[in-house]
Amino acid sequence: MACSGLLSNSFIANKCFRPRRHHKLAVPYPRSFSSSRVHLAQNLGISMSMEENGATKQGLDVSRKKLPHVLTVAGSDSGAGAGIQADLKACAARGVYCSTVITAVTAQNTVGVQGVNIVPDEFVAQQLKSVLSDMEVDVVKTGMLPSIEIVKVLQQSLKEFPVRAVVVDPVMISTSGDVLADPSILARFREELLMMADIVTPNLKEASTLLGGMRLETVDDMRRAAKILHSMGPRSVLVKGGDLPESFDAVDVFFDGEEYHELHSPRVKTRNTHGTGCTLASCIAAELAKGSSMLSAVKLAKRYVETALEYSKDIILGNGAQGPFDHFLRLKHNTSTGGTFSGNELFLYAVTDSGMNEKWERPMEVAVKEAIKGGATIIQLREKDAETRKFIETAKACLKICRPYKVPLLINDRIDVALASDADGVHVGQSDMPARVARSLLGPDKVIGVSCKTVEQAHQAWLDGADYIGCGGVYPTSTKANNSTVGLDGLKTICLASKLPVVAIGGINASNAITVLGIGPPNLKGVAVVSTVFDRSSVVGETRKLHSMLTEAVLKAN
Ligand SMILES: Cc1ncc(COP(=O)(O)OP(=O)(O)O)c(N)n1
Ligand SMILES: Cc1ncsc1CCOP(=O)(O)O
Ligand SMILES: [Mg+2]
């Protein structure tokens, strides 16, 4: 039996328990998005035959999937908040391979830029050739281009090795106000680089500088700037309004030559904004490499940056005015749930139901105690109709039962009840309070579970700082009316996509629990049950039966 989810379950033991030719496109330079079959196939992640894509057979794997690939051409930031380092982190966070051509090495920190050492243009050319001639780059993202010669070198390289899209972040002024590009480069930007850009992403200062000092103080000014910049050649323009005075939201203006889109996001109060421009542009590039349209790439990138800023707002690093942020959303949460929640707690997850308790004339505390005695490894109080005060009292009483057994007690839906009772966490669904908000209310030490039926929801749960996801209904159940099912296939797809541990829920009982856990992904950590343990005359008996079946399956698989 394929039972790796179970195999990796340490909780039970604890408790009792290679080169390929570059696809040259027959598309006129510099326009880069092509509907050619090669690129359509690449967008879909399908490898074309060797003969079709022009590669030779020798030494190649015909069946391999195309890896989305962004090449960043930018400067190195010793503080690692911006530049090449930010680009690498951003692409990694978005699941895209990132290669690097370094144009300059800067000495900088949170205070500012202390030194810039420009890489000789011949060596920039050599780096470009090394990567572009070999590594199937989808999208090039440019950052700091510190000399006209380097811009020329890049232009030449892209003529020789066209890519699908070019994202130009016109880095001229760092967030600390230091000028990073020679002013004479401006003309070249305007005449050449903007011409080859599929999108250019200036902030207000950069847009103003590119437009000869145009005053940009309102969203209408940004719209005008976007239009003029668009007339200079890029296919799309994103003017970022993060520095717009007196705006409540952060407003960016996107213009593709036809339509304007005002993209609003909540303004995150933080000093940790160093590298947001590089990160946003890299994310746009990453999403384009994965196949997104330009507007959705921009939207996804904005949302990611907003999330990362929110997560990193309290990080303290360096003494300067602007700190870096955490692209992986982990630094702040290193201490999440005291670092103790591993996911193994999800092995046998008992979710209460007051209707069932009433039917069997059993107080909640008794039901919880029996479930724990039978081997439940985590409890959730799911009380849909309880009065708030009573719910808090019950939660407190159940916590007294759970704590000596070190069994976490979570509260379904009600963050207020979790806070008031000092429960170990909450479980929220897609129509409940967003996990990100729950996290900011509960802090880093509480457990947060999120119900997910799709890969996108699972990804968002991770972005939002959840600790696990509940996936289901796996099977139909009368416990939760009108609940759509994902089946075993859906469960497996979500587990494989999830970076978080997963517990399966919905219609799980003694006859199918082993099959469910047997589907294999190692992050499938357990089963959550309601009726199988609580709609029975003996909670302890039913829980024990399920626990010993699961444990036996683990031991057998081992
Ligand atoms: C472990 C676990 N997984 C999923 C759910 C369902 O939560 P939700 O989608 O919010 O539905 P309700 O339980 O609130 O009806 C859960 N409770 N526990
Ligand atoms: C709360 C919930 N969420 C998805 S299915 C479900 C109910 C599961 O109940 P049962 O274990 O009785 O099928
Ligand atoms: Mg809910």
> What are the 10-residue block averages of pLDDT along the chain, 558 residues in total?
35 29 28 33 34 40 77 97 97 96 95 92 98 97 91 95 97 64 72 91 93 92 97 97 78 97 88 95 97 95 90 86 88 52 94 94 96 98 95 97 95 97 97 92 90 95 92 95 94 95 97 93 95 96 96 81
Nearest to 501 by CA among 97, 12, 5, 4: 5
Element (H, E) at 38: helix 37-43
Residue of the CA atom closest to atom 9 of ligand 1: 429
Q: Where are the beta strands (DSSP E) in 453-531?
A: 468-472, 502-505, 524-529
Please state whether the peptide bond connecting residue 473 to the residue before it is cis, i.e. omega within 30 degrees of 0: yes
Three-state secondary-structure class, residue 557? helix
530 Cβ inside 6 Å of ligand 2: yes
**Tokens matching residue 541:** 């008996």
Q: Tally Cβ neighbours within 10 Å of residue 31.
A: 14
Per the annotation, the verdict on 273 as an active-site residue is yes
Residues 6+ apart with CB under 8 A from 98: 69, 70, 71, 72, 87, 88, 90, 91, 92, 282, 286
472 Cβ inside 6 Å of ligand 2: yes
Please state whether the peptide bond connecting residue 30 to the residue before it is cis, i.e. omega within 30 degrees of 0: yes
- C-alpha distances in Å from residue 432, one per residue of 84, 383, 449: 39, 14, 12
Q: Which long-range contacts (CB under 8 A, 24 or more apart) does 441-450 make?
A: 441/415, 442/415, 442/418, 444/332, 444/333, 444/335, 444/336, 444/337, 445/335, 445/336, 445/337, 445/338, 446/337, 446/418, 447/337, 447/341, 447/408, 447/410, 449/380, 449/410, 449/425, 449/503
The predicted structure's pLDDT at residue 176: 58
The predicted structure's pLDDT at residue 174: 57
The predicted structure's pLDDT at residue 141: 98
The predicted structure's pLDDT at residue 35: 31
**Tokens matching residue 103:** 């144009």
What DSSP letter does each residue of 83-95 carry, written as one string? HHHHHHHHHHHTT
Give the span between the Cα atoms of 360 and 367, in whole angstroms: 10
Nearest to 523 by CA among 475, 451, 470, 474: 470
Q: Are 526 and 503 in contact (CB under 8 A)?
A: yes
Give the span between the Cα atoms of 386 and 392, in whole angstroms: 9
Residues 6+ apart with CB under 8 A from 322: 81, 110, 175, 176, 271, 272, 273, 274
Per the annotation, the verdict on 278 as an active-site residue is yes
User: Given ligand 1 and candidates 382, 530, 532, which is best to mutate, with the most ligand atoms within 8 Å of its CB?
Assistant: 382
Which atom of ligand 2 is the closest one to the Cα of 475? Answer: 13
List, edge to edge, every strand of the sheet that includes 69-77: 113-118, 97-108, 69-77, 139-142, 165-168, 199-200, 236-240, 249-255, 260-266
Give the span between the Cα atoms of 353 and 56, in whole angstroms: 63
User: Given ligand 2 and candidates 356, 480, 531, which is best to mutate, with the most ligand atoms within 8 Å of its CB?
Assistant: 480
Three-state secondary-structure class, residue 53? helix
Per the annotation, the verdict on 338 as an active-site residue is no
The predicted structure's pLDDT at residue 525: 96
Ligand 1 pocket, CB under 6 A: 349, 351, 380, 382, 412-413, 427-429, 432, 449, 451, 470, 480, 503, 505, 528
CA of 427 from ligand 2 middle (Å) equals: 13
Three-state secondary-structure class, residue 444? coil
The predicted structure's pLDDT at residue 93: 94
**Tokens matching residue 396:** 């407190």
The predicted structure's pLDDT at residue 172: 76
The predicted structure's pLDDT at residue 147: 85
Per the annotation, the verdict on 112 as an active-site residue is no
